[in-house]
Chains A and B, each alone.
Chain A
Amino acid sequence: MNTALELRGVSHGYDNVAVLNDVNLVVKPGSITALLGPSGVGKTTLLRIICGFETPQRGTVTINDNVVAHDGVSLVAPERRGVGLVPQEGALFPHLSVSDNIAFGLKHRRSVETRNRVQEMLELVDLAGNAERRPDQLSGGMQQRVALARALAPRPAIVLLDEPFASLDASLRVTVRTEIVAALRQSQATALWVTHDQQEALSCADEVAVLLGHRIAQHATPVDLYRTPASRSIAEFVGEAVRVRGAAHGTTATCALGELVLAQTRQGEVTIVLRPEQIELDDAPTAHSPRGEVIASRFYGHDGEIDVRLPSNEVVVSRLHARLLPPVGATVALRVTGQALAFA
């Protein structure tokens, strides 16, 4: 078995408006893959197709090497697909206790095996003392952990997490995220994690599939995705991007920030894309160093950003340590580290 989930040429739409167009995606067993895309791009539709609540008009869905849907025909009902679902806000059954929620998908619900499995799952998500509590007595983060335990209990081929932390407040989100990833890793489950939060995708997943323009625009490891995005729109969606016009000559390009080393070979007029942290203040400037005027300065606490207007009238953003932030109106010399991206 080499794939837990495979989508091949999946297309779907409503009322002749395409939502998904030729989506191809492979999820390897035991991996956590993030499906990253802006709101309204069809992430939830794709998830419902995998679960079996929608049937794709075109294409093939394969789970654990079994074809479950093909060209508008559903071959396997949702309840027989072995897909665990963790919806937004958890959706714990309010009429059942925590342990009954976890046992919901297990056969022979009164058996010793079931009881052991429920206990095991409770320990996995670190909620061992809460078996008899009601969902409404749990905090939002605890509810999410129970929802994960419930999805994992029947040992599904793959767990789908649908924006699981959208409803939690920012301070709680990072903690719960860490706990959920730890539980997924410990149980060696395969997971497809739907999110619109690029930080969440980059920090939690082994691989990130970017859903842009109704198709998978790029599927790569977080590092590759951030360093070498396949297109300008991906570069701008994944992380912040600074753009300047330039002229490429193979492995280098010249622009208002001087001569830069490119990540790929390019020729002719290009748009150069840099990350704000690649643009630093030059503490030993020469006569050739690019200079500009600071027109805005934002203090974030741990770091800060400045907007610098270059002589070419282009504005670039630089991310700096907070104590280095120059005042607005100052003239600063800049320097670029690392390789630049260039897109035609």
Chain B
Amino acid sequence: MSRLLRAPFALAVPALLAVVVALVPLLYLVDTSLQRGVQSVLDEIFVSRTATLVVRSLALTVVVTLACAVVGTINAWLVVRSSIPLRPLWLMLLSMPLAIPSYLSAFAWITWIPSLNGFWGASIVLTLASYPYVMLPVAAMLRNTDPQLDDVARSLGASPVRALMRVTLRQVSPAIWAGALLVALYVVSDFGAVATMRIETFTWVIYGAYRAGFDPTRAATLSLVLIAVALLLMMVERRARGRTAQRVGAGSIRTTVRRSSLNLVAPALLIAVSSIGLGIGVPVISAISWMRNGKDVVWSEVWSTIGASFGVGALTGVATVLLALPVGILIARFKGPLSAFSEGAVYVTHSLPGVVIALSVVYFGISLARPLYQEIPLLVFGQMIIFLPLVVGSVRTSIEQSRTAFEDVSRSLGTSRMMTVFRVTIPLALPGIAAGGALAVLGAVKELPTTLLLRPTELDTLATSIWKYSSVSDFGSIGPYAVALMLLAALPTAILSTVTVLKVVK
């Protein structure tokens, strides 16, 4: 690479700082787990209760992932290829479960059907929460595949079902794979649903071991095992994403909608209606009924909690965007060893479950930043690490979509590399940067385990209040918090998904 393509100093230094900052707490996690020596780490890993834990977590992951692959693909087909009316509305409603935190819907489910408590309840809740991870990429890919291939298959004598199986599904299988692996990654990291359903998977046990107080080594060691599982999934996901099938031949894609036979549409519609009804309907209706049955609601407390959630969310959003901006620009525009390193670091961070990051920030805080431990800066710091990959991804994608010719022209017109970043690169990427910021705010408002572990003791956010009241089944108080959180989370989700939806369904 040419010397001239190297990143300007003013960009490289903050970017490098950002990724190092994101990785440092992990060192403290390793350090804590090694406190009693390597032998005790190995002892902790190779005992039967750890094996049970691994098996249970993997079983949950497999069940949810398979269910999501089926539900997500069917829903994607329905909104992109079938001839049902109001398809954009369908897609938007079908993406809404992304806005509902898993601990909230889990609590709604067990108050409705208490016997669901456990493995199957967690499976249902997690499936309903994460099928959009399959649906959205599959819908996008379906939009880009040629529906005429379907017509060709039909004209060659295939039945509608056979054409769907042999042609359409084959074409989108890379998107199904990639989406399914995202779901798997989400399931191993989820804390809210398993904790509410009281099922002992990695995240819940790690949290418990830490909260029990006497065994930081066990919590840290199990975190390392969980990191290994997550990294493995992440690597497989990368692989799967690499193999995307390309359309053969040029020519614009004609309309993708096909008049589809009723015996295909009817079952798909049934699944879509259930996804929406169970995924959004159950938590929303529960929250409203809690609200109506609410007694002794201290409204001043509700408002101050909303304020606290917003405050922490906004701080996290701003901090994460500032940190992510140099990293995203570096990765997208200045390829080289430094940008490869940053990319790798962000990639590792992306696979880390929230509980693990929170825990490593705790150990980091205890050992190095004691005055900040259980103060707002450390809470924002922990959340920033969690959402950094998301925002970097958003910034990077929007920069990569714009042509490098813009930057070349700017430089030839007498603007330095750094000024070009400010005058051209950032303005062009502004929508992506804003979207990334919104994602971080939304995530921070919903985030439960990090807030539980890192918040100042007197600070309550919507997430922790819901957690507090749900763990004692206080239906009288939980309503306003649940409604507020859903409204807060739904708004940015609605905006973000409208943008995506309009791209997918015209």
Contacts and interface: CB of A to CB of B under 8 A. Distances in A.
Interface of A: 48, 51-55, 74, 77-85, 87-89, 91, 93-95, 104-105, 147, 150-151, 154, 156, 160
B416 A91 contact: no
B428 A52 contact: no
Contacts of B413: 79, 84-85, 104-105, 150-151, 154
B406 A55 contact: no
Contacts of A85: 408-409, 412-413
Given A55-B2, A93-B424, A95-B427, A80 B414 contact: yes
A84 B410 CA distance: 10
B4 interface: yes
5 contacts: A52-B4, A53-B2, A54-B2, A79-B417, A91-B406
Given A74-B4, A93-B424, A95-B428, A51 B415 contact: no
Given A53-B4, A54-B2, A84 B403 contact: no
Nearest to B406: A91
Classify the interface of chain A: helix, strand, loop or mixed.
loop
Closest 6 CB pairs of A and B: A105-B413, A91-B405, A85-B412, A78-B411, A87-B405, A95-B427
A88 B404 CA distance: 12
A105 B415 contact: yes
B49 interface: no
A48 B1 CA distance: 14
B3 interface: yes
Contact of B412 (A79, A93, A94): A79
Given A54-B4, A78-B408, A95-B427, 4 more contacts: A79-B415, A85-B412, A93-B409, A154-B414
Interface string B386-423: 00000000000000001101101111111111000001
A102 to B, nearest CB: 10
B279 to A, nearest CB: 38
A143 B5 CA distance: 28
A150 B409 contact: yes
Contacts of B409: 85, 87, 91, 93, 147, 150-151
Nearest to A96: B427
Contacts of A84: 412-413
Contact of B416 (A53, A77, A87, A88): A77
Interface string B287-307: 000000000000000000000
Nearest to A105: B413
B155 to A, nearest CB: 34
Contacts of A87: 405, 408-409
Interface string B416-440: 1100000110011010000000000
Contacts of A74: 3-4
Given A74-B3, A95-B428, A51 B414 contact: no
B348 to A, nearest CB: 30
A82 B411 CA distance: 10
B424 A79 contact: no
Contacts of B405: 87-89, 91
A129 B471 CA distance: 67
Contacts of B2: 53-55
Contacts of B417: 79
Contacts of A53: 2, 4-5, 408, 411
Contacts of B4: 52-55, 74, 77-78
A81 B402 CA distance: 25
A88 B406 CA distance: 11
A89 B405 CA distance: 10
A150 B414 CA distance: 12
B266 to A, nearest CB: 43
A93 B411 CA distance: 13
Contacts of B408: 48, 51, 53, 78, 85, 87, 91
Contact of A104 (B403, B410, B428, B430): B410
B9 to A, nearest CB: 14
A257 to B, nearest CB: 43
A80 B414 CA distance: 6
A79 B427 contact: no
Contacts of B3: 55, 74
Nearest to A54: B2
A83 B409 CA distance: 10
Nearest to A78: B411
Contacts of A150: 409, 413
A271 to B, nearest CB: 39
Contacts of B402: 94
Most chain A CB atoms below 10 A, which of B2, B406, B409, B415: B409
Contacts of A156: 412
Interface in B428-461: 428, 430
A78 B412 CA distance: 6
Contacts of A51: 408, 411-412
B428 A94 contact: yes
B412 A81 contact: yes
B163 to A, nearest CB: 37
A79 B419 CA distance: 10
A131 B415 CA distance: 22
Contacts of B414: 79-80, 82, 105, 154
Given A53-B408, A87-B405, A79 B416 contact: yes
Interface in B56-110: none
A55 B413 CA distance: 18
Nearest to A51: B412
Nearest to A159: B412
Contacts of B430: 95
A52 B417 CA distance: 12
Nearest to A85: B412
Nearest to B415: A79
Nearest to A160: B412
B206 to A, nearest CB: 46
A93 B406 CA distance: 6
Contacts of A55: 2-4
A44 to B, nearest CB: 11
A331 to B, nearest CB: 44
A26 to B, nearest CB: 21
Interface in B197-252: none
Scoring A51, A89, A105 by chain B CB atoms within 10 A of each residue's CB, the highest score goes to: A105
Contacts of B406: 91, 93
Contacts of A147: 409
A161 to B, nearest CB: 12
A69 B279 CA distance: 63
A83 B4 CA distance: 17
B430 to A, nearest CB: 8
Nearest to B413: A105
A76 B412 CA distance: 12
Nearest to A47: B408
B432 to A, nearest CB: 13
